[in-house]
Amino acid sequence: GLRWAAIALVTLPLAGSLGMGQVLAQAVTPARDGTRTTVTRQGNRLDISGGQRSRHGRNLFHSFRQFGLSANQIANFQSNPQIRNILARVTGGDASVIDGILRVKGGGSLQPTAQISPAL
């Protein structure tokens, strides 16, 4: 009894410090709301595709339940030359922390308003 309690008290802080990187890791999770956003992991790069185009086709909307990037991660938004604006929303309750890189491939630009999170 007492021996196991002492081991747990000694190893618990050590286990917490070893897992700190996992606790601080950010997630990019698409929302299931019909926007058809998909996220494909390629190493430290997250390719974001799909989404919902506006009626006139110049805007592309993405919706995420969670959106955050660690320092070594890249969010690579896939687009095409017809897209002018890429707008993304975060619907979950967690704050979005973006320490990584936001990139657009194929056309369009990611609008600053896209990073507003209801948790902030």
Percent of the chain with pLDDT over 90: 50
Quick one: pLDDT band at residue 99, thresholds 50, 70, 90? very high
Cross-strand partners of 76: 47, 103
Quick one: pLDDT band at residue 6, thresholds 50, 70, 90? very low
For the chain, which residues make up each domain, given as ranges? 26-115
Whether 51 contacts 30, CB under 8 Å: no
Q: How far apart are CA 114 and CA 87, in angstroms?
A: 5
Render pLDDT for 41-79 as a digit per residue (tens, 0 to 9): 999 999 999 999 999 999 999 999 999 999 999 999 999
pLDDT score of 112:
53
Tell me: pLDDT of 117 over 70: no
Whether 69 contacts 99, CB under 8 Å: yes
Q: Whole-model pTM?
A: 0.71
Residues with Cβ within 8 Å of 39's Cβ and at least 6 positions away in sequence, in order, are: 28, 29, 30, 46, 47, 48
Tell me: pLDDT of 95 over 50: yes
Pick the range with the lowest mean pLDDT from 2-6, 28-32, 64-68, 96-100: 2-6
